[in-house]
A and B are shown apart, each in its own frame.
Chain A
Amino acid sequence: MDFNQSAEDNLFDRARIVGKPHARIDGTLKVMGRAPYAYERNDVAADQLVGYPLCATIAKGRITHMDASSARAAPGVVSVVTTLEIEPLDRSENNVARLFGGDLIEHYHQAIAVVVADTLEQARSAAALIDVSYQQEQGVFDLEAAWEKLDNTGEPLSDVGDVDAAFQTADFTLDEIYRTASQSHAMMEPHASIVDWSDGGKMTVWTSNQMIEMNKQALATSFNIDPDTIRVESPYVGGGFGGKLWLRADAVLAALGSRASGRPVKLALPRPLVFNNATHRSGTLQRLRIAADAQGKITAFDHAAVSHTLPGGSGENPVNQTRTFYAGASRRVAHQLIDMNLPESADMRAPGEASGLAVLEIAMDEMAQKLGMDPVEFRILNDTQVDPEDPSKPFSERHYVECLRQGAAAFGWEARNRTPGENREGEWLIGHGMAGAYRGAPTLDSGARVRLQGGRLIVETDMTDIGTGSYTILAQTAAETMGMAMEDVEIRLGNSAYPTSSGSGGQFGATSSTAGVYAACLALQEQIAKHLDVETPRFENSRVLAGDTDLALSEVANGEEFVAEDTIHFGDFKDDMQIGTFGAHFIEVGVHAYTGETRVRRMLAVCDAGRILNPITARSQVLGGMTMGVGAALSEGLTVDLERGFFVNHDLASYEVAVHADIPEQEVIFLDTTDAASSPLKSKGVGELGICGVAAAIANAIYNATGVRVREYPITLDRMIDQLSNAAP
């Protein structure tokens, strides 16, 4: 099915299931502990062995010698595969560092051997018996050394109007430097796979992955085998956040171990290896300049940033949102990649946007303060309904101003503290802050197959549910389209035997995959119409209605199975407009006047993301983004050992995600909007919108509480306590 123009009025505008709250259909399995995650698939292959990885302890160099003889002789060990025994595996286009093979070390904790044994205890113990010698090379690990790159060197991504002239004539200007930290996805389920490649022929992979088809292709590339010989299953994923978009070492090592042992092998990355072996969000340095006239109209943005990557990667581009969020005739944005020898930086929830808005939305707060304006009104004044770089290009739907106004009203913004550092309750300084949120709403072609078996409908697609609610919203879509009850629909996900979907990532999953299921259901309807020889049948109450025909769906196929498959193809008409999601975050914090400890006391998000397919699961997605935003603002940061080039705090005790006690009352309001340009369901994603701007809203609230402006994340107490003594005597 082609989606080549904006949707017209359709069944989703009169929906009885889509858009309504429905509890997760996979929920019962999850609360019972019976949803099978990758490492737990004891049922799928007999005689599984356990693999354990050995990872490099230098950041850059070569392995000169490996001795695995003691490991091979250790109790229970079936096989050992070292990286020196394997030709360097080909890299898929989505991997920057090679995953295994050869003597080259590109980053700390790169996998260099897998030990396969009868039990975990035996494999782990034997892995420690492998002796490794390295020839270490000097690496580059310090992003601070890239300062000079912020001074308008390099090729800008965009340069419109006359930025320099705008700054010369502006009534008000801002020019500040900001830093965001490297962050880890830290999903609760570590990367894990079971691989059966026992005979070196057909490969079956039970894994935890967001993008099934991409994973399959990457495996084929890595091992130089026909993708048709590979089957990948990932029906339950214990969190991803971008960390499981790509093929990683768990599946590669399990495959090599399986081939060497002639038996299926399961392998989970031990948690302390995840942070340096797998990917992370790169830290950034950003210089942001804003120019405005005396009335508060922005005349220019100049946003320069650097992030780090292994040579050939894409880093963390934080300047893109600055191109289209606010009005202003002139703007220049530039992002430069700094080649560094830290572990592989890649996508994490709202890649680029989260780091960019963490900075842009502090800068907007600072400008509002210089102008003496309410930061809400300053943003409203600078709203735009067209792409400011190309005013011929409109936003399909943009209700940012409504987000700001509704949020301000619901939060009680009028009653906010207006004098930084002066609102005190005992030992606590109380502050209020807000920030805008903006994230694109991309869609990817997505396929599905539907099977009508009696009165039941089975939906098959390689789409994944990483906690996002895919099972539920796809069932809602199918039930709505086919006029069936939710209970009569079964959703099967995460299997490469099913049609290729968008997969989960970039907040494109929900909108793309529901449209794919809709397309497959329409194909089934056509088939049924043909079979019954009727024109334009209606599907209601599990029946087909057309002219004199009134037949239960369960009787249509006469005991046979009807199977239909289709893919939604999104047309390039979307290129003529900006399609985005918008939001506003409002925060209250308390900062301890003597210690600088920050406690978030209240959080509100207002979101404009088109039709909300399921208010329960969508709200949870936004809550999750807000919670991760609290971590980004206050505690999350990977600390680099500048001598040896690795992230020091590589476990869940020292990399501090938000815990329950960090999270206050949270409220989410969805605007009642639709976006016909997005998909037939007129929905857009919310999973990444929820984290956008949160960190800045907290930073702004901290400033409002204390009068101390911190421009470096995470905002730990050591970054403000020396100034706090002045602010709060």
Chain B
Amino acid sequence: MNPPNSAERHRETAQNGAERSNVSLVVNGARHQLELDNRTTLLDALREHLKLTGTKKGCDHGQCGACTVSVNGERINACLTLAVMHEGDDVATIEGLGEADHLDPMQQAFLDHDAFQCGYCTPGQICSAKAVLEEIRTKLPSHVTKDLTAPIEVTDAEIRERMSGNLCRCGAYANILKAIHQVAEERA
């Protein structure tokens, strides 16, 4: 219901501090200088200001993973972070991965295994999947990792656990699993 004074509270906060900021982002290797409303998420900076719409907005609340991108080599939900927090950061999105005649191995593996249907969660799945293999390679443990000191193996359980922040309502999980294994085996 309407909390009392909600309108007043908004008016007050709107009067505090500068409302816009300059931010410099390196996106897929190219530097972009943006002047943004402070409230702009990294996701909307990409989608609305740089017109990089490959990164998807499924929930805008960090609950679905469709907006997964890599920032300085780590995957994050781009909807859960403001663009102005990323001055100078290196952002990698789906658009930077491959071209139609030269796909990234993970993109190709998703094609090979029909690891998507509607395609809306797909860029986030692919960005997450690439990061998952890197996390396993660098021994970053997950909830299902049994031995924290040994090298981590690319098992079904590790992939499923680490990919569970990326929802796919079409239900392509079984195919996504195969796609990620294919890339892991190609690398091995």
Residues of A that sit less than 8 Å from B by CB: 23-24, 26-37, 39-40, 42, 57-58, 70, 75, 119-122, 125, 128-132, 185-190, 236-241, 268, 270-272, 466-469, 616-617, 619-621, 623-628, 644, 651-653, 657-663, 665-666
Contacts and interface: CB of A to CB of B under 8 A. Distances in A.
Contact of A467 (B47, B95, B112, B119): B119
Scoring A31, A186, A237, A657 by chain B CB atoms within 10 A of each residue's CB, the highest score goes to A31
B107 interface: yes
Scoring B98, B111, B121, B174 by chain A CB atoms within 10 A of each residue's CB, the highest score goes to B174
Scoring A623, A625, A665 by chain B CB atoms within 10 A of each residue's CB, the highest score goes to A623
B171 A626 contact: yes
B5 to A, nearest CB: 10
A289 to B, nearest CB: 34
Interface string B64-102: 101000000000000000000000000001110111100
Contact of A23 (B55, B63, B114): B114
B117 A652 contact: no
A132 B100 contact: no
A129 B172 contact: no
B169 A241 contact: yes
Contact of B123 (A33, A57, A185, A659): A33
A624 B167 CA distance: 12
Given A663-B171, A663-B173, A188 B118 contact: yes
28 contacts: A27-B114, A32-B99, A34-B95, A75-B14, A75-B19, A119-B37, A120-B44, A129-B10, A130-B7, A185-B169, A187-B120, A188-B56, A188-B58, A188-B168, A190-B57, A238-B120, A240-B118, A268-B57, A271-B58, A271-B61, A271-B63, A468-B117, A623-B172, A625-B171, A653-B61, A659-B165, A660-B159, A661-B163
A187 B114 contact: no
Contacts of A663: 160, 171, 173-174
Given A129-B7, A238-B119, A623 B63 contact: no
B48 A660 contact: no
A32 B59 contact: no
Contacts of B98: 32
Nearest to B38: A121
A238 B118 contact: yes
A10 to B, nearest CB: 28
A660 B175 contact: no
Scoring B56, B100, B126, B169 by chain A CB atoms within 10 A of each residue's CB, the highest score goes to B169
A132 B174 CA distance: 47
Contacts of B173: 627, 658-660, 663
A464 B61 CA distance: 29
A33 B66 contact: no
A70 B118 contact: no
A270 B79 CA distance: 13
B93 to A, nearest CB: 7
Contacts of B163: 660-661
A659 B171 CA distance: 9
Nearest to A236: B119
A29 to B, nearest CB: 8
Given A120-B48, A239-B170, A271-B63, A661 B114 contact: no
Nearest to B110: A31
A467 B114 contact: no
Contacts of A270: 60
Contacts of B119: 26, 29-31, 35, 236, 238, 467
Contacts of B60: 270-271
Contacts of A658: 171, 173
Given A28-B103, A125-B39, A188-B64, A623 B111 contact: no
A653 B119 CA distance: 21
A467 B174 CA distance: 16
A73 to B, nearest CB: 10
Contacts of A236: 118-119
